[in-house]
Amino acid sequence: MSEAAAPRPPTESGCPDAFQYMHPALRRNYGNWAYHEDPQPGVLKHVSKSGDEVYTIKVGTQRILDVFTLRKLCDIGDQFADGYIRFTLRSNVEYIVDDESKVQPLIDAITEAGFVVGGTRNSVTTLSHTQGWLHCDIPGTDASGVVKAMMDELIDEFKSWNMPNRVHITTSCCQINCGGQGDIAINVQHTKPPKINHDLVSNVCERPSVVARCPVAAIRPAQVNGKPSLEVDERKCICCGACYPPCPPMQINDAEHTKLAIWVGGNHSNARGKPTFQKLVASGVPNNPPRWPEATAIVKKILKVYKEDAQDWERINDWIERIGWTRFFELTGLPFTKFHIDNWRGARNSLNASAHIRF
Amino acid sequence: MATEHFETPMLDELENGPWPSFISGFKRLRDEHPEERIREVANSLLGQLEHSYETRKGYWKGGTVSVFGYGSGIIPRFSEVGHQFQASKEFHTLRVQPPAGNHYTTDMLRQLGDSWEKYGSGLVTFHGQTGNIMFIGTTTENTQHFFDEINEYGWDLGGAGPCVRTGMSCVGAARCEQSCVDEQKAHRLLLNNFTDDVHRPALPYKFKFKVSGCGNDCQNAIERSDFAIIGTWRDDMKVDQAAFKDYVASKGRQYLIDNVVTRCPTNALSINDDDTLAVDNRNCVRCMHCLNVLPKALSPGDDKGVTICIGGKRTLKIGDLMGTVVVPFKKLETEEDWESLVEMAEEIIDFWAENGLEHERCGEMIERIGLVNFLEGIGVDVDPNMVNNPRQSSYVRMDDWDAEAEKWFERKAEEAAG
């Protein structure tokens, strides 16, 4: 190897300093903000103790951006928004301007370019999602496609303030749930144990790690067809798919038996109550590309009831805590089954140990 | 000669409807990009994705790809159906650490886009669920070239695998009046102290830092990070009584009773007869609800700091865990304060690296060994803020109760002496 081809040692610069990329009005007023207002859906107005004002325009995009779309967003930023762009946790774009007169021309340009202004306050903001069939090595479904199909149906709720409080929806394409907790979560739920390709196991899987990975100790080493492999006690198996990432020959995904489940009431905020995890409300939902209409229908039904029945500022978990699960299932028309009753560790804490009953 | 386009009847349906379509973006790359390599890659990727839609299966497998000197930061993807979709048979993602708070100039976004176009597929996401910029789709060889180029102008890879992962922080002090901590400083100080642990996976499993400036926890830190930093304050919240009266006048007394007073989780609020607000600050838990409803009238106090919760994570393997309080309140003002934050993170990671099992998150280890053993391991004293309620089971040995009680009184006496 010639000396010129010697590998370049990396500069371990880590996380870059954001001040060099921050809108000057934000830089100037860092840590000095007084209050905010919400002039209209998709627009925030922040006022500094110095008297400075900034307007933030929040924009929904397709999240998986091609360079043309990225440049289009930059063009809008250059022409109408001082040359700065921020991204939110849920991959919305935020343009920030320091003058009210810049707001409407910016909104017009964004809308003209096919993006969507909204996602603030008590709206349904963009679904957060994972990689899915596009790039993940273990997905049971797609992610970007589910989100696109669902946002097509929920776009009016993104653009308005019709919900009692904000609604965060997430999707995840396996039960590891990289999409995280949501007011509503649409997650893969496998319903059959993995199908094992015994010819490959000994070559590609570190068997003790796979055995250790199983949450219910259902996997054990075995000789199959004279080769070292693994076997699954299918009576114990909970079909979670945890064995699949460390051992791809344990195929958990199935065109028919990989389903979707819907969970509600995950809330990251400490406002009012402590943060909450999401709870199962529906399962057995078909994994039905390209538009997943059955899952969307259930999400819309839950949102409709929440919108009609919840009080101002109640997140979905707050609302259900007030009205009770009996009423939730009654109002949504979703079936309550034996699968809704938890049997995982600590499950008895989720049971009603009282005479508190709603009629 | 250009390859024939793969048919994509199912994906085509995702071009309908009002929301922006990622499929239309892929097709623009396929049809309009000046470079043949990118057109071919986009075509091939569309072909494989359509195949996934038809068969309801994924076709990527992992592998080992890294850049020189690192063992982390690349998500390798090799196609299992690469013979059919050759131009995208190697389709690795680079995870790149964003600036704290996700701020960019359009110039920098363009520069990153230009570099990515030279070496990659032209597809990018701001950001993945761990918080990285995801540059999606390149070959093993170009992974190194792209990294070399962007590393020269200030960008570094994030974590992947059993290592310290890329951090996340909310917009915070940059644009939020509720910020109680310098989120960006906390984020960068911690992450850049653990650069070696980001780039060279050698921990039991992943370890995530997330920073939220207040209890609204917009960063989902308590739910999904091993080390959650939440801004808070310990003096009285500030009440602008004139602004509060304006709210009463504009929204009505009943609205404020129904949406502020009765929603306070500790009944710490009431409206006085003269339409001013009374706050029982000793019983306020800094939940943020009333500040959210009345941002002009209410704001955090001056004596700010952070609460630190440890051990949050999602399902695998023992079920979901929230982070739990390990530090009820910590000032982050002086350089010594900040140094002690880093030292605490080092203690925790070292203890977990020593005691965690393979593939066991920090929170799972705490569940296995008990919070008290963890606290003793990292040298933190117990505090009633760490529990919802004291123990309910009598099945425990309490031989040295007197000594433990004495420790409590000594600590209280020290605190009282200041």
Residue B77's nearest CA partner among B163, B143, B166 is B143
Q: Which residues of B touch A344 (CB under 8 A)?
A: 319
CATH number 3.30.413.10 is the correct assignment for the domain at A132-191+255-341? yes
Q: A291 and B11: CB-CB below 8 Å? A: no
CATH number 3.40.50.2300 is the correct assignment for the domain at A195-242? no
Q: Which of residues 242-301 of A touch B (CB under 8 A)?
A: 242, 248, 253, 255-256, 258, 266, 268-273, 275, 277, 287, 289-291
First to last CA, chain B: 80
**A270: its two tokens:** 């400490």
The tens place of each residue's pLDDT in chain B, 418 residues long, gives 457 999 999 999 999 999 999 999 999 999 999 999 999 999 999 999 999 999 999 999 999 999 999 999 999 999 999 999 999 999 999 999 999 999 999 999 999 999 999 999 999 999 999 999 999 999 999 999 999 999 999 999 999 999 999 999 999 999 999 999 999 999 999 999 999 999 999 999 999 999 999 999 999 999 999 999 999 999 999 999 999 999 999 999 999 999 999 999 999 999 999 999 999 999 999 999 999 999 999 999 999 999 999 999 998 889 899 999 999 999 999 999 999 999 999 999 999 999 999 999 999 999 999 999 999 999 999 999 999 999 999 999 999 999 999 999 999 999 999 8
CB proximity B95 to A under 8 Å: no
Residue B144, CA distances (Å) to A6, B65, B71, B139, B149 in order: 12, 10, 13, 9, 9
Residue B306, number of CB atoms within 10 A of its CB: 26
For A242, the closest of B17, B113, B316 (CB atoms) is B316
- Do the first three CATH levels of A18-117 and A195-242 match, i.e. the same topology? yes
Residue B30's H or E segment, with its range, is helix B22-32
Q: Which of B8, B104, B291 would best serve as a mutation to test chain A binding (most A beta carbons within 10 A)?
A: B104
Q: A135 and B136: CB-CB below 8 Å? A: yes
Architecture of domain B1-160: 2-Layer Sandwich (3.30)
Fold of B238-299: Alpha-Beta Plaits (3.30.70)
For A62, the closest of B25, B106, B129 (CB atoms) is B25
Q: B103 and A22: CB-CB below 8 Å? A: yes
CB proximity B313 to A under 8 Å: no
Q: Which of B109, B119, B342 would best serve as a mutation to test chain A binding (most A beta carbons within 10 A)?
A: B109
Q: Which residues of B touch A135 (CB under 8 A)?
A: 60, 75, 77, 91, 93, 136-137
Q: Which of residues 60-99 of A touch B (CB under 8 A)?
A: 60-71, 73-74, 77-78, 83-89, 91, 96
pTM exceeding 0.90 = yes
Give the amino acid at A221: P
Fold of A18-117: Alpha-Beta Plaits (3.30.70)
CATH number 3.30.413.10 is the correct assignment for the domain at B168-233+303-417? yes
| Boundaries of every domain in chain A | 18-117, 132-191+255-341, 195-242
CB contacts < 8 A, A to B, total: 355
Sign of CA dihedral B241, B244, B250, B255: negative
Search chain B and give the residue with CA nearest A80: B106
- Alpha helix segments (H runs only) across chain A: 24-28, 67-80, 103-112, 144-158, 198-204, 207-213, 293-309, 316-332
